[in-house]
Amino acid sequence: MDLAREMNDFLGNVEQALAASLVDDPSATHQQGDILMEAGRHLCLGEGKRVRPRLVRLFAGAVRAPSAPLVDLAVASELIHSASLLHDDVVDGGMFRRGRPTVNAVRGNIVAVMSGDLLLCTALGSLARIDPALCPDAIALVAEMTRAAIAEVEARGNLSLPLEQLRFIQEGKTGSLFGWCGVAAAHLAGQPEARRRFDLFGRHLGVAFQIADDIRDVTGAEKGKPQYADLLSRTPSMPVLLAVSRDEGLRRRIKDAWAFTSIAPEKVRELGLTVIATGALDEAVERMHVEIDAAIAALGPWASEPAAAELISWAHQLAASVQGQARKTA
């Protein structure tokens, strides 16, 4: 069976197991049902790219980890990710995600926060059943993601944010979970060196993934997200920070626009086009390539494994796609 078919079968099993993990708790039901699990299903089921479960499967294939616990491990990775999205939407006041109303828009902030907490508990319970030794790394992961999330909130509106701090946020919010997928798979295989290398790979890839998202925000290629959403939300993304470092007049114009409660669509478009005109997208693409190259180098001897080759191919596809979008926009 080829890797593509194996992956499709695996993701199908993950989808079924994810649904089975989000069933109502009979002890919690009442006339309205288990609203926290209902909120979890609203976000999790039938949506999402399942990037983290894919990573679990590919990392595990590279070290030939036992297959029996991999579906549950992949589900745990998706539940941790989904919990962070539920919390992020409350922090950001997000009304739509993946083209659908967010849980906080439908059920309110309290349900969204508590549903996220419940998903985290569900993930940790699943990991404890696989191997209790997986839990300390997962707890440390959630703590790192939480610190990165508050750093992102504190950075809002800061056009002088150092790029090192932006990278800290990107690595903590995305790279840490990508890396954990490799750490957990390598743990199951009893490969301590792979744990270290896969963690580095995932962290660099996660930063590249976030830079790619920042670029798509400017090019308008992110599905379900309006173009220049980062400018609208006063988020100092990679292209925006690079652009204002090249153009002090643009820095002043964005700062002035961000001083108002709302920004007119035509003003946002004007600022976005000026960001593009500075050449910031090209530099952002270069920085994405640096992260991808570092990720591939981190794999070391595992780079020759077929599953690891799929990881490398996926990273190259990400880079090629985003670079093409940036060139069309420039």
Q: Among 89, 113, 130, which residue terminates a domain?
A: 130
- From the list 297, 295, 305, 301, the residue with the least C-alpha distance to 57 is 305
Q: What is the pLDDT of residues 165-182, one digit of tens each?
A: 999 999 999 999 999 999
CB 72 within 8 A of CB 79: no
Supply the pLDDT for residue 64. Answer: 96
Domain-located, residue 305: yes
- Do 325 and 285 share a structural domain? yes
The total number of structural domains in the chain stands at: 2
Domain-located, residue 136: no
Residue 190 phi, psi (nearest 5): 65, 40
**Tell me, what amino acid is at 77?**
S
Confidence of residue 294 (pLDDT cuts 50, 70, 90): very high
CA distances from 39 to 33, 79, 125, 177, 327 (A): 11, 12, 19, 22, 40
- Do 163 and 121 share a structural domain? no
Q: Give me 184's structure tokens.
A: 């957990």
- From the list 9, 23, 24, 18, the residue with the least C-alpha distance to 57 is 9
Q: What is the pLDDT of residues 248-286, one digit of tens each?
A: 999 999 999 999 989 999 999 999 999 999 999 999 999
Domain-located, residue 139: no
- Do 319 and 199 share a structural domain? yes
- The C-alpha atoms of residue 43 and residue 101 are separated, in whole angstroms, by 9
- Do 114 and 56 share a structural domain? yes
Contacts made by residues 152-159, CB under 8 angstroms, sequence distance 24+ = 153/91, 155/236, 156/233, 156/234, 156/235, 156/236, 157/234, 157/236, 157/258, 158/236, 159/236, 159/240, 159/241, 159/244, 159/251, 159/254, 159/255
CB 215 within 8 A of CB 285: yes
Supply the pLDDT for residue 224. Answer: 66
Domain-located, residue 287: yes
CATH classification of the domain holding 53: 1.10.600.10
CB 221 within 8 A of CB 198: no
Boundaries of domain holding 52? 1-130
Supply the pLDDT for residue 93. Answer: 84
Question: Which residue(s) pair with 97 in the sheet?
Answer: 100
Confidence of residue 1 (pLDDT cuts 50, 70, 90): low
User: Within the chain, what is the greatest distance between any pair of CA atoms?
Assistant: 60
Supply the pLDDT for residue 165. Answer: 98
pLDDT at 31 over 70: no
Q: Can you give the pTM of this predicted structure?
A: 0.95
pLDDT at 32 over 90: no
- Do 161 and 308 share a structural domain? yes
Q: What is the pLDDT of residues 97-130, one digit of tens each?
A: 877 889 999 999 999 999 999 999 999 999 999 9
CA distances from 53 to 7, 44, 171, 218 (A): 10, 13, 18, 28
Average pLDDT over residues 207-229: 89
Regarding predicted confidence, which is higher, 221 or 81? 81
Domain-located, residue 208: yes
Q: What is the pLDDT of residues 35-89, one digit of tens each?
A: 999 999 999 997 778 999 999 999 999 999 999 999 999 999 999 999 999 999 9
Q: What is the pLDDT of residues 139-198, one digit of tens each?
A: 999 999 999 999 999 999 999 999 999 999 999 999 999 999 999 999 999 999 999 999
User: Residue 256, Cβ neighbours under 10 Å: how many?
Assistant: 10
Among the residue ranges 107-116, 221-230, 283-292, the one predicted with the least confidence is 221-230
- The C-alpha atoms of residue 235 and residue 230 are separated, in whole angstroms, by 5
Supply the pLDDT for residue 33. Answer: 64
